[in-house]
Structure 1
Amino acid sequence: MKNAAISGLLLCAVATTGFAQVIAPAAQTPTSAPAVYQPVSDSTRQAVHKLFKWGRLYGLISTVSGGLVLGSSSAYAIGGDMNWKNLGSMAMGGTALALGTTSLVRFSRRHEREVLAALERGETLPPYVMLMSPFLPKK
């Protein structure tokens, strides 16, 4: 008898929670407005150009220094002087080379033109560009 009363209470509790739920109205799909062309001001264009220019410079410095470190530690390894220091230098030089190459690709002139075109369409800056600027708000 006690189990029947508990199961009856549970059944009532489950049934009342089902009545308490509200069905949300269907989401209205907004009509797509035509893309609005907003000319980008010269100061914004110059700031984006400066960010990409610095990104290319940092990428070039990282690529060259990483290549030099990787090349010199490889020369020591080929000469027979292989130890942990050379392995660490090779790993760090390879990492700097890879990151610099990635930065050169990411901040290329083609990507700069694409970002400026996206700004004219009213889109925001990509996250990798926002990380380069200390003055832009970050998420």
Structure 2
Amino acid sequence: MKTFALFLSLLLAAGHAGFAQASTSPAGGQSADAARFVARPPLSDSTQQLVHKLFKRARLFGVISAVSGGVLLSSGVMYDRRGESFRDTGFSLVGGGAGLTIGILNLGQFSRRRERAVLAALERGQPLPAYAVRWLPLIGR
């Protein structure tokens, strides 16, 4: 919970500092385009570690879901091959297929490439994407 509060305060502070910047032409003859390229301070290590932990846990959940879904799906296929009832076969096929699909989609959504893109977006001052915000409560545990 402390980590979530720290991350939220850092995110709010970064957003507040972005609104406080002036959009007028700076003195000294520089154009407004040159003022946009003012160097921002890099992300703190704790923020980078928090985003990495978020994506790492989400990838782990994806692996667990995909493996358990695959096991359940294969048991449904085996039930069907043996001629078992629909109660065993159907529920295993449907549940296993859903778990496998959720796991694979989760692995794609929280890939290392997306993690690098989110870190780059945070450095540019953009907020954390909505799909990643939903996973924030899982970090504190």
| Residues 41-74 of structure 1 deviation map (CA, whole Å, 9 limit, x = unaligned) | 0000000000000000000000000000000111
Is the contact between residue 38 and residue 121 of structure 1 (CA under 8 Å) also seen in structure 2? no
* TM alignment of 1:61-76, pairs within 5 A: 61-76=64-79
CA distance in 2, matches of 1:135, 1:70: 27
CA distance in 2, matches of 1:35, 1:78: 64
The aligned residue for residue 57 of structure 2 is 54
The aligned residue for residue 113 of structure 1 is 116
- Structure number with the bigger relative contact order (C-alpha 8 A, sep ≥ 6) is 2
Deviating more after overlay: 32-41 vs 43-52? 32-41
Is the contact between residue 70 and residue 89 of structure 1 (CA under 8 Å) also seen in structure 2? yes
* TM alignment of 1:67-106, pairs within 5 A: 67-106=70-109
Structure 1 runs not aligned, ≥5 long: 1-29
- How many residue pairs were aligned? 107
Task: Choose between structure 1 and 2: higher helix proportion.
Answer: 2
| Residues 23-55 of structure 1 deviation map (CA, whole Å, 9 limit, x = unaligned) | xxxxxxx98762553410000000000000000
CA distance in 2, matches of 1:59, 1:132: 12
Structure 2 runs not aligned, ≥5 long: 1-23, 25-31
TM-score, reference length from structure 2 = 0.69
TM-score, reference length from structure 1 = 0.70
| Residues 66-124 of structure 1 deviation map (CA, whole Å, 9 limit, x = unaligned) | 00000011111022224133101210110010000011011110000000000000000
- Structure 2 counterpart of 1:39, from 39, 42, 45: 42
